[in-house]
Structure 1
């Protein structure tokens, strides 16, 4: 899960043969509190943009139960250009992660090692973004 600027907020590893919608609740629950300019740190996002892979009633119910407004593209609808304005941020983050050659091909046999390298890549991406904006 990434924020509006493409900074990784949560990383959850799943098997390659598992559907993306099955890990939605794990990803949302993995988000740590994010500091804001004022008030308490926000635990969960206000709204969540997702592609057509998450277009299930179960996903929408789970998000609404957590007080998150689901913005999910509908299956069977050709034009999802409105949600595409937000989806490119996620694709750009994937491109940033793919610049780390160690992560493009998974050489590690253990998931915890791969997750560690992925976390380091996310930290570097966040550091570079902060450096760019500050």
Structure 2
């Protein structure tokens, strides 16, 4: 990964206020921090982009053990989720997120080594990422779970993981989301689900043909997954702890949202 992939000054200015300051012990004991949070974050971003092991961090970054310890601490504290929510909600208040037409889909991440929360599929064992994007293709929600369950059963759980204050007005999916019971559940929440009917559907049609025209813009979530595929630590899961993998996912989403900011 090139040096230009490091956090820019403008990006760091947005993130810095959200990182908690570590208090110095009154007794003066403990090891003082040599490397700044920005240096460590740049190291974490290198791992995210390349998919490499912590031990392989180049010398221009803090050591792999330093970056991993701080990454693990931040993951346990939910820092990356907090940053993601803060950026998304601020962008929402400034009109940069459009909830009137959202898109949902899932993607499969192969799980290497031992891993928490994974399932077996025809493609092997792995983790499923369920994602909702807004009308511009910006991420609104992500749900990380076993790869085994069918995507239609994960829609409500994904909606519950929304980063923004508001919720989608319409959610557009492919034929996998053609479900009358799901339509009814989401309607009670004020959400319209738009999905083409399955070819083998027996029940009468329920989708309005005019609304289905929106399905032509589903390429926006496909484009989002193309952006996400640039982060190798996300598309292949090397982390055993689910909170570590979710943190990498959240950081990738942060990077994508920052492009809209700056």
Task: Give the TM bin, normalised by the shorter chain.
Answer: 0.7 to 0.9
For structure 2, the residue ranges without an aligned partner over 5 or more in a row are 1-131, 201-211
| Higher Cα radius of gyration | 2
Q: Give the CA deviation at 1:72.
A: 1.3
Tell me the CA shift for residue 84 of structure 1. Answer: 4.1
| Other-structure match for 1:120 | 251
Aligned twin of 1:107: 238
Shift of 1:93: 0.6
CA contact (8 A) 1:73 1:83 kept: no
Residue of structure 1 aligned with 2:183, choices 60, 85, 106: 60
SS at match of 2:143: coil
CA RMSD of the aligned region, Å?
A: 1.7
Distance 1:46 1:105 in 2: 32
Greater share of residues in helix: 1
More strand as a share of residues: 2
Aligned residue runs from structure 1 range 49-88, under 5 A: 49-76=172-199, 82-88=213-219
Compare relative contact order (CA 8 Å, sep 6+) and give the higher one, 1 or 2.
Answer: 1
C-alpha displacement of 1:82 = 3.5
Unpaired segments ≥5 residues, structure 1: 35-42
Q: Where in structure 1 do 4 or more consecutive aligned residues deviate above 4 Å?
A: none
Q: Is the 8 Å Cα contact of residues 140 and 164 (structure 2) preserved in structure 1?
A: no
- TM-score, normalised with respect to structure 2: 0.43
For residues 8-33 of structure 1, what are the alpha-carbon distances to aligned partners after superposition, in whole Å with 9 as ceiling and x for unaligned? 11110121111101110011122133
Matching residue of 1:37:
none
In the TM superposition, residue 83 of structure 1 has moved relative to its aligned partner by 4.6
Q: TM-score, normalised by structure 1?
A: 0.82
Paired residue total: 120
C-alpha displacement of 1:59: 1.4
